[in-house]
Structure 1
Amino acid sequence: MVFFEQSARAVGPGEGFSLSPPVVSIVAKSGTGKTTLLEKLLPELRVLGLTVGVLKHHSHVSSFDVPGKDTYRLAEAGADIVVGASPVQVAVFRRENGSGDLDAVIARSFAGMDLVLTEGYKRGPYAKIEVHRSGRSSELLCDVEEMLALVTDRSWDLPVPQFDFDDVTGLARFLLQYVDGGS
């Protein structure tokens, strides 16, 4: 698990600290544009004042670190946690037990965030924003009951908010309302 934090800020009791930030999964078929959407959405969420963490799903076991680098070597030597720190960024490499307890990973890694967005986890328990392009598929991945919103290039007859790919500002405002308990 890798966690990057830009310009960390201390948050104390009574200052919005939460052990359980809301979690929303951005889901789609491969190559549909999940990462591109997140790249556009994250700056909009920051403008709205939200602190946002992102958890990227990796279905295969791999190293996130670079072989030969000090952090990699220390983890390989047996450290359970290795932290690399610079004046503007912190990277945490933590050995996990393989249980797949996503709630525990989120609680440990994203405490104090206003919102956690996951990329992937289409079978996970969290509310989902599906990203759909008509050129990639004619069907949706999610059941409407688990769908918080839909980002799409066509109109669907569904009772969920729908956003065009170019309306990241609208999607960000929708997520702010969701975080504030309005959805």
Structure 2
Amino acid sequence: MRVYGVTGWKNTGKTGLVVRLVAHFAGQGLRVATVKHAHHATETDRPGTDSYRHREAGAAEVLVASPHRWALMAELAGAPEPPLSELLGRLSPADLVLIEGYKSEPHPKIETHRAAAGRDLLAPTSASVRAVASDTPLDGIGVPLFDLDDTAGIAAFIAAEVGL
């Protein structure tokens, strides 16, 4: 499975970059999957829906299916968060999996950076950060630097990294 990550601190452009990369690769006819890590409780359905009521009643997993999409929700019920490797194993085959977040996991990744966020780069201390996408010039970072909006250049870099 070809896996590549987009990581960085809050409000540095991770989601925007992932969305643009998905559109770019999907536009080339590739099947792309994504994994998004959140640090807060994430609700995928709303109170009052049947699936919500199933979960609230104690269902360990709820699968919702329609003619347009299906989704599987699993309740951890106090169990630890599954490791990324286990979650990746649940995905259907894809040409590329883009992972948003998971700063400390060992998969290769590009770091997003915005000067306004006021945070230090992860790249100098993380061997898994292979490049930085920034809204400002940076010197001496030790990895390739891309403009944060250079979707085509970043996509080409990722494609070369994973052998697409």
Report if TM-score (shorter chain) is over 0.5. yes
1:112 aligns with 2:93: yes
Residues 114, 179 of structure 1: 8 Å contact kept = no
User: Do residues 172 (structure 1) and 152 (structure 2) align?
Assistant: no
Other-structure match for 1:58: 38
TM-score normalized by the length of structure 1: 0.76
Q: What runs of 5+ residues in structure 1 fail to find an aligned partner?
A: 1-20
Deviations 1:78-134 (A, max 9, x none): 3332222232322211234424322111111x2301222222111222222100112
Q: How many residues align?
A: 160
Gaps of 5+ in 2: none
Task: Report which stretch shifted further, 110-119 or 93-102.
Answer: 93-102
Q: Which amino acid aligns with 2:145?
A: Q
- Contact 1:144 1:158 (C-alpha < 8 Å) held by counterparts: no
Q: Distance in 1 between matches of 2:16 and 2:97?
A: 17
Query: Are positions 1:92 and 2:72 aligned together?
Result: yes
Q: 1:136 to 1:61 in 2, by over 3 A?
A: closer
Contact 1:25/1:117 (<8 A) preserved: yes
Q: Measure, in 2, the Cα distance between the counterparts of 1:42 and 1:162.
A: 20
**Equivalent residue, structure 2, for 1:158:** 141
> Kindly, what percent of the aligned residue pairs are identical?
36
Measured in 2, the distance between the counterparts of 1:158 and 1:93 equals: 40
The residue aligned with 1:43 is: 23
| Cα offsets for 1:128-162 (capped at 9, x unmatched) | 21001123236202325221221012133234222
Match of 1:9 in 2: none
1:75/1:81 CA distance change after superposition, 3 Å: same
In 1, Cα distance between equivalents of 2:53 and 2:163: 43
